Amino acid sequence: MKKILLMNKIAKVGTDIFDRDRYEVGEDLQNPDGIMVRSAKLHGMQFPDSLKAIVRSGAGVNNIPVDECTKNGVVVFNTPGANANGVKELAICALILAARDVVGGIAWANSLKGEPDVAKAVEAGKSAFVGSELVGKTLGVIGLGAIGGMVANAANALGMTVIGCDPYITPRAAWSLAPSVKQAGTYEEIFRTCDYITLHVPATEQTKGMICKKTLDMMKDGVKIINLARADLVNAADLKQAIAEKKVAKYVTDFPTQETVGVEGIVAIPHLGASTFESEDHCAMMAAKQLDEYLTNGNIVNSVNFPSVSLPHTSFARVCVMHKNVPNMLSQITSAFSAAGVNIDNLANGSKGELAYTIVEVSDRPNEKIVEKVLAVEGVLKVNLY
């Protein structure tokens, strides 16, 4: 029986996907085959030899030591797009919070408790919270993946002029954009021309600190910035200076930090982007299905460290090999089967950067000799039998 360790509370509709005749699922399990996680930090955690995969019920994997997992042949999955609608809706809310001082107005209205004539006080004081409308304003969307594309289309429907930029946009994502969404060739074009800028990219070495003094100086005076992606994308010190100088009129973030809470001009939302019942259910179901498919058949879908490779499991057994993406590797792997007199019924292979993954289907259960020969090939990281 396979074991699934839960590092956070995972929606029941997800964990119910695991057949209890084949899986044990719980929070205090030793030697798990798979781990399901949301926000728990796994850096520094000692992973057992039994571990084959970790799945994050969400998109980002900053809380998972991906490089260490890769070295040990542990597949790391995420669930891109499962919470996209929830984040999109919060992004629209964030645009409105940036355009109009709703937060300040609510706090002021609550302070009127005890006033003899609240309605009169409201009419007298509401002018302090006048804002602007979104119609006709220009929104720059940085990152046009599952979330960014939906935000671009929604803002377009609200009457905004939308400009998007994504150097890595997929054909599918490009086709999903409304025809009137313009695509910029560089981030600089967005920085220089937009009234609102919203960030929807992962935190990488290339994107961390992308909003900094240099890029802020390019922007329009009074620009409003939305960040529902990651705190690291914005240099907090540079941002606060830009707010003090009125360069930035409002910053709305879903990732509060010690530097950004309680600052005038900053609206800090307590990481609510995917905090909807629907998003949690979608992420949990997607995560469980991917983990079950890998532990049952060795098929990989939505891995952040290994290529997506799937093959219908039609033969008696299959051997799945994680290896370096180098010349002559595939022939060395298949030669091990030929030398043992084992016929290969089917095969699938894919690569992702320096890594590759190969599924070999055979009619007979492969013996330990084949496994040993494959593992002996230089560049092979791990071999799993199904």
pLDDT beyond 90 at 172: no
- Torsions phi, psi of 45, nearest 5? -75, 135
Query: Could you give the C-alpha distances from 372 to 264, 316, 364, 366, in angstroms and in order?
Result: 63, 20, 17, 11
Q: What is the pLDDT of residue 370?
A: 83
CA dist 327 and 351 (Å) reads 12
Best CA proximity match to 252, nearest among 274, 219, 229: 229
Q: 306-386 — its CATH code?
A: 3.30.70.260
Pick the CATH number of 87-268 from 3.30.420.10, 3.30.70.260, 3.40.50.720, 1.10.357.10: 3.40.50.720
Q: What is the pLDDT of residue 369?
A: 79
Q: What is the pLDDT of residue 363?
A: 87
What lies within 8 Å, CB to CB, of 314 at 6+ separation is: 345, 346, 361
Least confident of 39-43, 308-312, 334-338, 379-383: 334-338
Q: Does 87-268 match 1-83+277-305 at the fold level?
A: yes
pLDDT beyond 80 at 367: no
Band (384; pLDDT cuts 50, 70, 90)? very high
Band (338; pLDDT cuts 50, 70, 90)? confident
The DSSP-derived string for 321-355 is EEEE--TTHHHHHHHHHHHTTPPEEEEEEEEETTE
Ranges of each domain in the chain: 1-83+277-305, 87-268, 306-386
- Specify the pTM: 0.80
- Yes or no: is domain 1-83+277-305 CATH 3.40.50.720? yes
Q: What is the pLDDT of residues 208-218, one digit of tens each?
A: 999 999 999 99
